[in-house]
A and B are shown apart, each in its own frame.
Chain A
């Protein structure tokens, strides 16, 4: 069963624009993570947000978490061509703290020059 699911499946924007991706999940969580995957490469960890946090920033990245709606969003500001990648959210099963993160199918982001 898939815990987290990203939306949209694919997103295409111009360089300099902001990109927003959403993740919805079904059951309560302890933590949620966002990862980036460039084509043909492994996943790279971006941000971890805990269930008692509402917002975190890292450079041009901003992640929000709304546990009442069971959703998270990843905002990339002032996007660059190098941001072209797939982005995944990963949630831990609330009753299995930290052991297994379940990954969604991802959002494919294309940033056009």
Chain B
């Protein structure tokens, strides 16, 4: 009963470095999402996917790329990290549309120096 698992939990990057955040869900959910959370701003949607092989841009997609090669995994990539990308990143999944709300992972705290 893992739900949504995010790796890594913490990471420090230097400006210009790249990294990939992994999100895995074991609930057979169709929809997956990547959010970032910054103080006083709530969660903002970066990218989302409505099924295997599909991705779409959210509210703040610049500087990020995503891939959904397998239904259970949703990867978030930072090609050239910037200090403005310092944030807590959350992955979420749902069955589709809004039947039962989103299931969130526990987050990845990323610091870019």
Contact = CB atoms under 8 A, between A and B. Distances in A.
Contacts of A98: 96-98
Contact of A103 (B43, B48, B96, B107): B43
B2 to A, nearest CB: 13
Contact of B42 (A44, A92, A100, A103): A103
A100 B105 contact: no
Contacts of B106: 41-42
A88 B43 contact: yes
Interface in B27-82: 35, 40-45, 48, 50, 58-59
Contacts of A102: 45, 59
Contacts, number: 59
Contacts of B92: 42-43
Counting chain B residues whose Cβ lies within 8 A of the other chain, the interface size class is 20 to 34
Given A100-B45, A105-B42, A42 B104 contact: yes
Interface in A18-53: 30-31, 33, 35, 40-45, 48
A31 B102 CA distance: 13
Nearest to B99: A48
B18 to A, nearest CB: 25
Contacts of A40: 107
B40 A45 contact: no
Interface string A74-113: 0000000000000010001000011111111110000000
A48 B98 contact: yes
